[in-house]
Structure 1
Amino acid sequence: MRGDRFGTAELIQSEGNRVTQQAMQANRRSLLLLADKLYRRNPAEWRKSAATREAALMQVEAALLSGQPWAPLAGRRDVAALSLALAPEFGGDRVAAFVVACHDTIVTAHGGKREFYYLDGVDPQHVYNAARNMEIALWILNTRRTPAGQPLLLANEIGPDSRNLSFEREFGKIIGRLDLLASYMTERYRRAVISYVQSVVAAPLLAFLPVK
């Protein structure tokens, strides 16, 4: 496995900044992959917003990269957007709405940032909360029904002749990355406090010794 090529921006990034940014990018890729899977199982959704599935995916990717409110979500952001995307009465492209809202929730949990440099901090509790919100969103998607009694979206496939849980596995990767990042940042801050205390305690013992 090879890492990314070195970029000059990395000179003003700490290790924590780099880890956070890499996790953010990986989660965006996972969400785009989930959008593709959902569109394949729910072709009626992409037909609401584009002429082809590929065109719909390009629109979703552009929305994730722009960071601007997505018009069909009526200006709502993060968890408010998720609530609307998962509302049974929502009539727009639910795949796009769901993926854009998930991404916006993750970005908001990272302080609204997509790139991270020195002095940029991330609240571990917010990232942890985002992971729990992804779990809740997945549960709602799997259990809630439209007024006609149909699933909001066809996602996992479990039947007597076939079993496809690739959607849930990919969503689990997003949750796992968020949890790992929250744990990493919590430990990082904890170690910083311990290191400071150690330096204070050890300071009296670090007097220079005579050399003659």
Structure 2
Amino acid sequence: MQRLRCVYVLLCMCAALTGCSTMDTASNKHGEVKGASISGREMGQSDTNRIATLGMRNNLDSLYLLMEKLYRRNPGEWKKTAASRDESIKRVRDAIEQRQPWTELRGQRDIKALSLALTSEFNGDRVAAFIYASADMIIAAHDGKTEFFLVDGLDAQHLYNAARNIEIAVWLLANRRNTEGKILLLSDNMGESGRNLSFEREFGKIVGRLDLLAVFITEKYRRAGINYIQNMIGGSFLQFLPVR
């Protein structure tokens, strides 16, 4: 009887371990959270600086992903100025990262560039212009920077405005038509064959990050005052008591 009980316990343990392994495998199918590698530059960053830097990096990555997806749905756009889709993607990324003007936007930057990219009369590569202008507008809202340190400050209202600008741009992209009466760019598909809202979700991530950072910047100054008061009040009460 004792031996049977031991066998039963071992079987239960094996089942539990198998279950854990199965759950781990299932969760891994959806990806894993990955942190950035440590660098010496972080020594000059506060928590707020770090969050702003990561948010900017993720927002630019989202725009690059959207650019690739838009080119796949609108292949005629990259053909206007480049020999391949990859070449066009690289040109746009380089212009954004190096803060260079985009020729087709006639020197316009920020919201002026975004407005021009979404006009029905624009005849250039609309995908490139739209992604470049969106990135330039977001960077402008971050005081023209993509990485932030202790000496840098951010305006919460500018970040909030950038989030609203993205929402407006996405709506215009889906509803405004060109001179031929066609939607400016094909994106989400909600036809009879099914629904593909991947564009909406990715744009939503950008809006969410901008809104969260705007609120966090606002909270930072309020929390600084609260923490100061808590330290003053708690300093006299939160004292260790003698035990001998």
Normalising by structure 2, we get a TM-score of 0.80
Deviations 1:73-115 (A, max 9, x none): 1111110000000000001100000000000110000111111
1:210 equivalent in structure 2: none
1:49 equivalent in structure 2: 81
2:14 equivalent in structure 1: none
Q: Residue 38 in 1 paired to residue 96 in 2?
A: no
The unaligned stretches of length 5 or more in structure 2 are 1-32, 238-244
Letter in 1 for 2:72: R
Alpha-carbon offset, residue 205 of structure 1: 6.4
Alpha-carbon offset, residue 204 of structure 1: 11
Query: In the aligned structure 2, how far is the partner of 1:155 from the partner of 1:2?
Result: 29
Q: 1:127 aligns with which of 151, 154, 159?
A: 159
The unaligned stretches of length 5 or more in structure 1 are 207-212
Q: Residue 75 in 1 paired to residue 107 in 2?
A: yes
Alpha-carbon offset, residue 119 of structure 1: 1.8
1:191 equivalent in structure 2: 223
1:12 equivalent in structure 2: 44
Letter in 1 for 2:92: V
Query: In the aligned structure 1, how far is the partner of 2:120 from the partner of 2:152?
Result: 38
Query: In the aligned structure 1, how far is the partner of 2:217 from the partner of 2:120?
Result: 37
3-state secondary structure, aligned to 1:158:
strand
Query: In the aligned structure 2, how far is the partner of 1:202 from the partner of 1:79?
Result: 47
The equivalences for 1:1-212 within 5 A come to 1-196=33-228, 202=233
Query: In the aligned structure 2, how far is the partner of 1:203 from the partner of 1:169?
Result: 44
3-state secondary structure, aligned to 1:163:
strand
Query: In the aligned structure 2, how far is the partner of 1:29 from the partner of 1:204?
Result: 45
Letter in 2 for 1:84: L
Query: In the aligned structure 1, how far is the partner of 2:124 from the partner of 2:139?
Result: 23
Question: Who wins on radius of gyration, i.e. which is larger?
Answer: 2
Query: In the aligned structure 2, how far is the partner of 1:21 from the partner of 1:204?
Result: 34
Larger RCO of the pair (alpha carbons < 8 Å, separation 6+):
1
Query: In the aligned structure 2, how far is the partner of 1:119 from the partner of 1:193?
Result: 20
Normalising by structure 1, we get a TM-score of 0.92
Query: In the aligned structure 2, how far is the partner of 1:156 from the partner of 1:179?
Result: 23
Letter in 1 for 2:93: E
How large is the Cα RMSD of the aligned pairs? 1.7
Query: In the aligned structure 1, how far is the partner of 2:57 from the partner of 2:194?
Result: 32
Q: Give the fraction of aligned pairs with identical amino acids, expressed as a percent.
A: 53
